[in-house]
A and B are shown apart, each in its own frame.
Chain A
Amino acid sequence: MTANPVFDRIQADITDNPVFLYMKGVPLFPQCGFSARVVQILTHVGVPFASANVLEDPALRDGIKEFSNWPTIPQLYVKGELVGGCDIVTEMFQSGELTEMLTEKGIPHQAAA
């Protein structure tokens, strides 16, 4: 009972990619400070990730908020599960939980030397 057709696309994104980020802009050119910070953290911990730019797709921009019952972007998904937005990702990075979680879930990552 998929209410919103964009949900199928989201489900495919987060199922096919172990680490997926919904953001404003693209990783090389984020268009929002919160998205930029999450990109910076993911790059720093050296984990490959795929992303979608919600600014290019109004249906996705609204759909992702409804999909996750989460009102803001960025949204980081790991193994199909919402990890959080900028605040949670930052908190987890600072406490070391982010890399712990990636290791636990068997996602290769390597911090830049």
Chain B
Amino acid sequence: MAMPASEIEALIKASLPDAHVTIEDLAGDGDHYAATVISAMFAGKSRVQQHQIVYAALRGRMGGELHALALQTSAPV
């Protein structure tokens, strides 16, 4: 069950409009991605909280349709 990178990016941006999102398809199979998300919404939040915001944006797809999404999050410098 694959999910195109553009859909992941659209979902993240729908919740975090200011986010700078970079997505890499690690295995070329549409199922293993690495994403870097930079958003001002992450300022002052712990890493767990930052990842939870992204998972919430993906609305339950993470761990289901989307098997592997390596996440790196940060606030803009």
A residues apposed to B, CB below 8 Å: 34, 65, 69-72, 82-88, 91-92
Residue contact A83 to B70, C-beta cutoff 8 Å: no
Residue contact B51 to A84, C-beta cutoff 8 Å: yes
A87 contacts across to B, CB distance below 8 A = 51, 70-72
A84 contacts across to B, CB distance below 8 A = 47-48, 51
Q: Is B63 an interface residue, CB under 8 A from the partner?
A: yes
| Count of inter-chain pairs, beta carbons less than 8 A | 32
B residues apposed to A, CB below 8 Å: 47-48, 51-52, 55, 60, 62-64, 68, 70-72
A96 to B72, CA, bound (A): 17
Residue contact A71 to B63, C-beta cutoff 8 Å: yes
- Which of B55, B68, B70 lies in contact with A70, CB distance below 8 A? B55
Residue contact A72 to B47, C-beta cutoff 8 Å: no
A71 contacts across to B, CB distance below 8 A = 55, 60, 62-64
Residue contact A70 to B72, C-beta cutoff 8 Å: no
- A sample of 9 more A-B contacts (CB under 8 A), given A34-B68, A84-B47, A88-B47, is A65-B63, A70-B51, A72-B62, A72-B63, A83-B48, A86-B70, A87-B71, A88-B51, A91-B47
